[in-house]
């Protein structure tokens, strides 16, 4: 079926990108590099996100459904998703050509993130001269049919969910403290709270005795595929090493299970404390998100092997 290639035009396109992620989970889950929640978080966590990115879509002309998308984080980092039904065609090569044409070279390299399980994509990227960069992000999952431990916190602390606008300022404060320096601000988090598929009853926090929010675990639910994601998770530096991150993640898992999820997914840097935390609450590694890099001379752009922006079969 003919495809239209065009740039991102607005929130309706984000929903199309999320629907593609949802369809890929239906067909290939859990070996899919993103969830519907990932895309909402990536788009809305900061203000003016589109000013620092470029997005390209491959859309089925007849149905209007996205069959692939490429998301360039300027100057030179790419994430992408291609429908399994398009992998035998030209779309992946076109997508990589587009990235190499649009990317800058200020960093001295181009970087593409690929799920290790997707051997075809790894081979295609490697065939263009990209090589694995040190470190990787673990792709971990757990069944929510398995027992989920009770979230235990020190006396005086409370595990609960966000109460909408009333918690906005404090919710942003704890995120900024956990990920300092952070560009998350009340305006961006408010936009996130209005975005699909955010749910306040899956935005879990730990409240300290003085009313400060001490830890958080934002969960995202794909109701169609019954999969939930934990992203992001953090603890205020003043409250670390008290088991709060573990407790709030367990609360998040229980909330996802109560809302119908059967599987949970979370990502963590290989060898990190977060990876050990997730392992301790039942997650197991099934793949890795690899960053493959190719050096380029600053001031120069690589010449893509093929560029095709037309409507084709």
Q: Which CATH class is domain 146-261?
A: alpha beta
Cβ distance 197 to 206 under 8 Å? Answer: no
pLDDT of residue 300: 62
Fold of 3-137+290-295: Aminopeptidase (3.40.630)
Cβ atoms of 207 and 171 within 8 Å: the answer is no
- pLDDT 10s per residue in the chain (313 long)? 799 999 999 999 999 999 999 999 999 999 999 999 999 999 999 998 999 999 999 999 999 999 999 999 999 999 999 999 999 999 999 999 999 999 998 889 999 999 999 999 999 999 999 999 998 999 999 999 999 999 999 999 999 999 999 999 999 999 999 999 999 999 999 999 999 999 999 999 999 999 999 999 999 999 999 999 999 999 999 999 999 999 999 999 999 999 999 999 999 999 999 999 999 999 999 999 999 999 998 766 655 433 333 232 3
Report the pLDDT value the prediction gives residue 312, as an integer from 0 to 100. Answer: 29
| End-to-end Cα spacing for the chain | 6
Domains 3-137+290-295 and 146-261 share a fold: yes
Provide the residue ranges of all domains of the chain, joining segments of one domain with +.
3-137+290-295, 146-261
What pLDDT score was predicted for residue 301? 60
Asked whether the beta carbons of 140 and 116 are under 8 A apart, the reply is no
Model pLDDT, residue 119: 96
What is the reported pTM?
Answer: 0.93
- What is the structure's pLDDT at 313? 30
Tell me the residue length of the chain: 313
Residue pair 268/274 in contact (Cβ under 8 Å)? The answer is: yes
Using DSSP, state whether 272 is helix, strand or coil. Answer: coil
């Amino acid at each position: 079926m003919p495809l239209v290639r065009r740039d991102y035009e607005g929130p309706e396109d984000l929903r199309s990108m999320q629907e593609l992620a949802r369809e890929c989970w239906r067909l290939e889950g859990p070996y899919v590099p993103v969830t519907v929640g990932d895309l909402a978080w990536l788009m809305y966590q900061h203000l003016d996100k589109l000013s620092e990115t470029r997005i390209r879509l491959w859309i089925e002309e007849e149905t209007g459904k996205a069959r692939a998308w490429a998301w360039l984080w300027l100057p030179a980092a790419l994430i992408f998703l291609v429908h399994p039904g398009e992998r035998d065609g030209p779309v992946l090569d076109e997508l990589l050509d587009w990235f190499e044409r649009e990317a800058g070279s200020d960093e001295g390299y181009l970087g593409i993130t690929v799920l290790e399980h997707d051997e075809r994509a790894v081979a295609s990227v490697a065939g263009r001269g990209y090589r694995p960069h040190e470190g990787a992000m673990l792709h971990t999952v757990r069944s929510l049919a398995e027992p989920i431990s009770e979230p235990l916190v020190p006396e005086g602390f409370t595990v609960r969910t966000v109460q909408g606008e009333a918690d906005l300022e404090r919710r942003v404060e704890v995120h900024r403290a956990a990920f300092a320096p952070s560009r998350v601000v009340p305006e961006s988090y408010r936009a996130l709270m209005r975005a699909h598929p955010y749910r306040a009853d899956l935005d879990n926090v730990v409240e300290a005795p003085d009313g400060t929010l001490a830890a958080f675990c934002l969960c995202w639910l794909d109701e169609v595929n019954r999969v939930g994601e934990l992203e992001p998770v953090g603890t205020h530096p003043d409250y670390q090493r008290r088991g709060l991150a573990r407790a709030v993640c367990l609360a998040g898992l229980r909330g996802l299970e109560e809302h119908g999820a059967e599987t949970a997914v979370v990502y963590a840097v290989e060898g990190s404390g977060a990876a050990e935390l997730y392992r301790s609450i039942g997650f197991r590694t099934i793949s890795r998100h690899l960053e493959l890099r190719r050096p380029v001379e600053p001031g120069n752009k690589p010449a893509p092997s093929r560029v095709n922006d037309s409507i084709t079969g």
